[in-house]
């Protein structure tokens, strides 16, 4: 009996996680349902697209540039051992398109926009502005969450395309200048080994990542309690939970996408 009492606190942890997962699923279902019901707040949708997409361009371009440059430098030094420097371009392009670009883009958007979502909605929650919206017969989920979710689903794939392009450009600069790889073989191998399926698979990942980072961040904001300190905790929790969710979902998406495109090619 004493041993059972010692384990009770540990048994409560999975129950709390299941409860949080259930509340998040109800939250997501309500937000998705509202996206198909009028009134459609087009102005809010485009404002969120501008905030999440356009304003994230500088950090995405900077991250993509140096990611491509570093990856090209590392693979170039390794491939030089086997006299395979001409494959640096295709290797970097495949890695960016399939994995690095969607994951890094989602993480950067989480750090910049996801934290802002949680902080803004959390501040509205503790200052009772969300209750004021309900008083005015405005559903908070439709007004605050749905535009952010839709904007992330559309803008994260577009930012991923920018990340891919800038990353390949950075790899090209490093490959042709520092690694002395001829421009022709670099681009020719990139062209022949990078398939449209690789790009489409990365964009599917990016859209799913955008959905999860938006819903998790907004959910954390809506669950905020405890004034300014609670807003800080919610913002930190939103970034951590969104980042971990992106990495976990990435594994399962990679498995599914690889199986799908492999069977499709055969």
Burial label for 156, CB within 10 Å (0-12, 13-18, 19+), is: buried
* Average pLDDT of the residues of the chain: 86
Tens-place pLDDT, residues 93-127: 999 999 999 999 999 999 999 999 999 999 988 88
Judged against a pLDDT cut of 60, whether residue 248 lies above it is answered with: yes
Look at residue 23 and tell me if it is in a domain. no
Look at residue 2 and tell me if it is in a domain. no
Average of per-residue pLDDT across 56-68: 95
Tokens 């929790």 belong to which residue? 237
Domain with 150 in it: 43-265
Look at residue 95 and tell me if it is in a domain. yes
DSSP 115: H
Other C-beta atoms within 10 Å of 157: how many? 23
Judged against a pLDDT cut of 80, whether residue 244 lies above it is answered with: yes
- Rounded CA-CA distance 147/162 in Å is 22
Look at residue 25 and tell me if it is in a domain. no
Look at residue 38 and tell me if it is in a domain. no
pLDDT computed for residue 31 by the predictor:
80
Tens-place pLDDT, residues 166-200: 999 999 999 888 888 888 888 888 888 888 888 99
Look at residue 31 and tell me if it is in a domain. no
DSSP 112: I
pTM: 0.88
Tens-place pLDDT, residues 10-29: 445 566 777 777 777 887 88
Task: Work out the pLDDT band at 62, boundaries 50, 70, 90.
Answer: very high
Half-sphere exposure of residue 88, counting CA atoms within 13 Å on the CB side? 37
Average of per-residue pLDDT across 236-251: 93
CA 73 to chain centre: 26
Minimum mean pLDDT range among 12-26, 74-88, 230-244: 12-26
Look at residue 27 and tell me if it is in a domain. no
pLDDT above 70: percentage of residues in the chain: 91
Tens-place pLDDT, residues 127-173: 888 888 888 888 888 888 899 999 999 999 999 999 999 999 999 99
Structure tokens at 143: 């007004």
Judged against a pLDDT cut of 50, whether residue 259 lies above it is answered with: yes
Average of per-residue pLDDT across 195-214: 92
How many domains, the chain?
1
Look at residue 92 and tell me if it is in a domain. yes
pLDDT computed for residue 212 by the predictor:
94
């Amino acid at each position: 009996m004493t041993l059972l009492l010692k384990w009770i606190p540990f048994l409560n942890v999975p129950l709390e996680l299941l409860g949080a997962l259930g509340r998040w699923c109800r939250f997501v279902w309500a937000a998705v349902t509202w996206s198909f019901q009028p009134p459609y707040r087009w102005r809010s949708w485009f404002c969120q697209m501008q905030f999440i997409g356009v304003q994230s361009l500088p950090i995405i371009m900077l991250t993509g540039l140096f990611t491509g440059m570093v990856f090209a430098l590392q693979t170039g030094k390794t491939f030089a051992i086997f006299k395979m420097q001409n494959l640096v371009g295709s290797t970097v392009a495949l890695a960016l398109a399939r994995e690095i670009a969607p994951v890094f883009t989602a993480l950067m958007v989480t750090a910049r926009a996801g934290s802002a979502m949680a902080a803004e909605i959390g501040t509205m929650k503790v200052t009772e502005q969300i209750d004021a919206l309900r008083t005015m017969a405005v559903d908070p989920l439709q007004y605050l969450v749905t535009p952010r979710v839709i904007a992330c689903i559309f803008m994260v794939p577009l930012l991923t395309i920018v990340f891919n392009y800038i990353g390949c450009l950075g790899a090209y600069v490093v490959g042709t200048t520092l690694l002395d790889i001829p421009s022709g073989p670099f681009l020719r191998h990139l062209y022949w080994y990078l398939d449209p399926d690789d790009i489409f698979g990365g964009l599917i990942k990016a859209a799913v990542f955008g959905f999860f980072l938006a819903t998790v961040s907004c959910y954390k904001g809506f669950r905020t309690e405890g004034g300014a300190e609670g807003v800080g905790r919610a913002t930190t929790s939103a970034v951590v939970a969104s980042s971990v969710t992106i990495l976990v979902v990435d594994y399962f998406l990679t498995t599914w996408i690889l199986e799908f495109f492999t069977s499709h090619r055969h």
